[in-house]
Amino acid sequence: MMKQKDGKVNTMKNKKFLDSPFAVILCNLILFFLVYFVVISDYVVSLAIMAVVILAILLVNRYNLVNKIFDLYIRHKKTALISGLILGIIYPFSLTDNVYVAHIATLAVIYGIACLGLNFQMGSTDMTNFAPAAFMGIGAYSVAIASVNMGLSPWIGMLGGLVLSGVFGFLIGLPTLKTKGYYLSLVTMAIQLAFTELVRIWPYVGGDDGLSGVQRYKLFGFELYKRYTIFGIRMSPQIPYLLLCIAFLVLCTYIAMRVYFSRTGIAMNTVAQDEIAADCLGINVSRTKLFAFVIGGVYCGLAGTLFAGLEGYAGPATYNFQKSLMLICMVILGGMDNSIGVVLGAFILAIITEKLRDFADFQQLIYGAILVVMLIVRPDGIIPWRVRNHDLITKRKPKIIEKLGESTDIAAKAELKSEV
Amino acid sequence: MALLETKKISINFGGLWAVKDVDFNVEPNKIVGLIGPNGSGKTTFLNIISGIYGRYKGTSGEVYLDGEYILGLKPCDVYKKGMSRTYQSSRLCWEQSVADNLLVGCYTSQDYSLFDSIFRPKKVNNEIYDQLDRALDLLSTFNPKLVDRRYDLAKNIPHIDRRRIEITRALLSNPKLLLLDEPTAGLNDEETMTMMDGIKMVKEKMKGSAVIIIEHDMQVMEKVPDTIVVFNAGEKIAEGTYQEIINDQDVIDAYIGGGDEDE
C-alpha cells in the first residue's frame, strides 16, 4: 500500500520529468545496465536479476506502467533511438576480454532476430510454425556452402541464404494455406524433421559432421571476428561481430514495428482472428499468410547466416527440432505480437540456456516448466501486444472530436464513466 | 439496369439443394428485404453472391454486379468490385481496438506499398489517419460516444455498438451493394428501431447503391425495405411490396402462419 502511495506522489511531482526526453534516456540507461549485469555476472546473480525484473514487470503492469513507458518512447522517438543506438554501440565494448560472455551476448542478439521472424507467423498471423530452426539452418548452410564448398565470400552466402530462406518460406507457405491450426503446425513439424534428416544424410553439406571452417565476415577489409586492442584494452574476438549483429537486430526490430503499424500488420491480425471476415473485407488471405511466411523466413535465415559466422560451423545438431522449440518458447515467454517483448524473451531464454550449460541435461525440463508457468500465469507473455495508438504515432486527433465539440466530449466521457 | 442480377443460382451440398434456381434482381437506390423460415437458404444465398461459396463445386448459375460477372471470384475480389456485408453472428475482431477494426474496412481504400509502410513517409501517416477520420466520422452518425472509445477492445463494447461498428466497417469501402445479415439479431425492440433509423440514414448517404437485408422482425420489414423477397426451402416463393407479401397465400403457409393458430 505504502509503495503505491509513494509512487503516486512521485508521479504527481515528477510529471513533467516523466514526460520529457530525459525519462527516455534514463529508461534506456536502466535497460543498458540491466542487460550488462545479467550478461556479465555468473548464473546465480544473473538468474536472480532476471527473476526480479520479470516479477517487477508483471507487478508494474497492474498500474499500466509498461504501456505508459511504451507511449513515452513513441512520443520521444528520436531521443529514444539515438540514445539507444549510442548505448548499443558502447555495450559490446563494455564486455571487454570476456570471450564466453561476448559469445552469450551475440547468441542472444541472433536469437532475437530469429524470434522476430517467428513472431510474424506465431504472433501476428497465429500460425504456429515449428520449423524456424530449419529456416535458420538454410541461412547457415548457405553461408557454409558458399565459403567452404565454393570458396566465395560469406556475404554472397548471406545474400543467397536470405533469398533461399524466403523462397523456402514461400514453398512451405503454399501447402499450409490449405491447413489451419494444429494441422498447419504438424506440417511445419514434419518439414523441420525432414530438414534435419536431409542435411544429416547429404554428403555435399558434410553429413553428420556438418561443414566447419566457415569464413568469417569481413567489412571493407576489416575483420569482424578478431581480437582488437582499443585504448590498451584487449577485446574478445566477438566484439566487432556483436556490433554487426546489434545493427541487424535494430534494423529488423524497426522493420517489424513498422509492419505492425501498417495496414499489412492489421491485415495479418485480422486473418489470425477471422479468416472469413478478412476475406470479405478485401484482404487476400493467402497472400497475407504467404507474406508472413516469407518475411519470417528471411528473418530466421538472416539469424542463421549470422549464427554460422559466429560459430564458424554449420551442422545438423545446431538446427534441429529442439532449437525450434526453444525459439517458440522465447516468443511465448516474451510476448506474442510485440517486437520488444519477443526480443526480451529471446534474451532471457538465450542467457538462461547458456548460463545453465552445466545443467544441460535439464534444459528441456526448464523450457517445459517456463512454458507451463507462463501459460498459466500470463498466457500472452511478459510484454504482450498493445493496442495500436494511431493518435500518438501520427500525432493527430480525429477531426470529428472538434466537430462534436468539447461539451459532448465531456458529456460522453461522464456517461461512459457512470456506465463503468 | 439492375445493380445485382442473379440467374438460376443453385447450390447443392451433397444432394441437398440449399438454394435452387433463384432469379433475383436488385435495382439501384432500393432496399430489398429477405425473409423466410430458418434454413430456407437466405444466408446461403448471401454467401454465394458475396463469394464465400463462389468457388464451391456445387454452386451453379450466374451473378452479375453492375453488369460484371462475379460468380467464382474470391470474396476479397468480390469486395473490391463493390459488395460488402455483415454477418448474422458478429465477426468483429474481438482482440482488436475499434479503430483497428475500422481500419480493416479501409484496407482496400489505402494505397501504399510495403516499402512505404517500412520507410513510412509523412504521406502514409496522413493516409492512415485520413482513413481513420473518415471511419470515425461515419461511426459517429450511428453513435458519437463510440469516437471516444476508439481504442477500446471490440470485446468490451456493448452488443448494439458492435453491430454499428460492423455496419460502419462494411460501409467504409463505399459499396455499391451492402448485404446485412440480420443486423438486429440480439437487439431489443427499441434498439432495433434505432438501428433501422441508422441504416436508413446511411442509405441516404450512399447514392446509387442498394441494400439487401435479412430480417425476421415483420415490423421492420413493414417500414424499411422497398420490396420483399420470400424464401422457402431454398426457393424464391414470392416477391413484392409488404402488402402484397402478407396477403400471399404461399407466404402465409410457409412463413407468416395463419394468425390464430400461431398465437
Domains and CATH numbers, chain B: 1-82+175-263 (3.40.50.300), 95-173 (no CATH)
| A277 contacts B87? CB cut-off 8 A | yes
- Name the H helices within A95-211: 99-119, 132-144, 154-176, 181-201
The Cα of A75 is separated from the nearest Cα of chain B by a number of Å equal to 15
Phi/psi of residue B71, each to 5°?
A: -70, 135
The pairing of beta strand B68-69 with beta strand B59-65: antiparallel
Each domain of chain A, given as residue ranges in start order, spans: 1-94, 97-386, 389-420
The DSSP secondary structure of B159-193, one letter per residue, reads: HHHHHHHHHHHHHTT--SEEEEE-TTTT--HHHHH
Give the gap in angstroms from C-alpha A395 to the nearest C-alpha of chain B.
Answer: 9
- Ordered alpha helix ranges (H), A312-396: 321-334, 339-355, 363-377, 390-394
Cβ atoms within 10 Å, residue A357: 11
* Per-residue model confidence (pLDDT) at position A303: 94
H or E stretch covering B63: strand B59-65
Count CB atoms within 10 A of the CB of residue A176. Answer: 21
Give the residue among A155, A401, A178 at the shortest CA–CA distance from A286. A178
**B residues 188..207 contacting A (CB < 8 A):** none
Q: Give the three cell numbers for residue A352.
A: 538462461
Q: Is the pLDDT of residue A117 over 90?
A: yes
Per-residue pLDDT tens for B185-210? 778 888 888 888 888 887 777 778 88
Cα of A339 vs its chain's centroid, Å: 6
Confidence category of residue A390, pLDDT binned at 50, 70, 90: confident
Spatial CA neighbour of B22 closest among B239, B241, B244: B239
A119, burial (CB in 10 Å: exposed 0-12, middle 13-18, buried 19+): buried
Beta bridge partners of B31: B211
> From CA A281, how far away is CA B100, in angstroms rounded?
13
User: A270 to chain B: which residues are within 8 Å by CB?
Assistant: 93, 96, 104
User: Strand B68-69 relative to strand A313-314: parallel, antiparallel, unpaired?
Assistant: unpaired
Alpha helices (H) along A202-313:
239-261, 263-273, 275-279, 285-311
Q: Is the Cβ pair B84, A281 closer than 8 Å?
A: yes
Are residues B195 and B186 in contact, defined by beta-carbon separation less than 8 angstroms? no
Res B258: pLDDT: 53
Give residues with Cβ within 8 angstroms of A21, minimum separation 6: A76, A79
CB burial string A316-331: b at 16+ within 10 A, e below: bebbbbebbbbbbbbb
User: A97-386: which CATH number, 1.10.3470, 3.10.590, 3.30.70, 3.40.50?
Assistant: 1.10.3470
Residue of A266, A282, A415 with shortest CB distance to B103: A266
CB spacing of A267 vs B107 below 8 angstroms = yes
Helix or strand or coil: residue A332?
helix
Which band of pLDDT confidence, cut at 50, 70 and 90, is reported for residue A418? very low
User: pLDDT digits over A7-66, tens only?
Assistant: 444 555 556 677 788 888 888 888 888 888 888 888 888 888 888 888 888 888 778 888
Contacts of residue A256, Cβ cutoff 8 Å, sequence gap at least 6: A116, A119, A120, A299, A339
Measured CA distances, B189 to A34, B160, B193, B196 (Å): 59, 12, 6, 11
Confidence of residue A356 (pLDDT cuts 50, 70, 90): confident
Beta-sheet pairing, B4-13 with B59-65? antiparallel
Q: What is each CA distance from A40 to A44, A95, A108, A111, A301, in whole angstroms?
A: 11, 7, 13, 18, 28
Per-residue pLDDT of chain B (263 residues; tens, 9 = 90+): 788 888 888 898 888 888 888 888 888 888 899 888 888 888 898 888 888 888 888 888 888 888 888 888 888 888 988 888 888 888 888 888 999 999 988 888 887 777 777 777 788 888 888 888 888 888 888 888 888 888 888 888 888 888 889 888 888 888 888 898 888 877 888 888 888 888 888 777 777 888 899 988 888 888 888 889 988 888 888 888 888 888 888 788 777 665 444 43
CB neighbours of A56 closer than 8 A, spacing ≥ 6? none
Provide, as residue numbers in chain B, all residues whose Cβ is less than 8 Å from the Cβ of A282: 76, 79-80, 107-108, 173
The residue whose grid cell reads 548471406 is A158
User: Cβ(B239)–Cβ(B212) under 8 Å?
Assistant: no
Phi/psi class of residue B113: alpha, beta or left (left: φ > 0; alpha: ψ in -120 to 50)?
beta
Beta bridge partners of B238: B230
Cβ neighbours of residue B202 closer than 8 Å, sequence gap 6 or more? B138, B141, B142, B167, B171
Residue of A269, A280, A284 for testing the chain B interface, max B β-carbons within 10 Å: A280
Helix or strand or coil: residue A231? coil
From residue A54, alpha-carbon distances to A30, A41, A327, B125, B185 in Å are 14, 17, 19, 34, 45
Residues of chain A in contact with residue B84, where contact means CB-CB under 8 angstroms, are 280-281
State whether B120 and A262 contact (CB < 8 Å): yes
Total beta-carbon pairs less than 8 A apart between chain A and chain B: 136
Nearest CA in chain B to A413: B148
- Check: CB of residue B188 under 8 Å from CB of residue B8: no
**Shortest CB distance from A277 goes to which of B91, B118, B149?**
B91
CA distances from A269 to A31, A416, B101, B126 (A): 29, 28, 10, 22
Cα(B251)–Cα(B232) distance, integer angstroms: 9
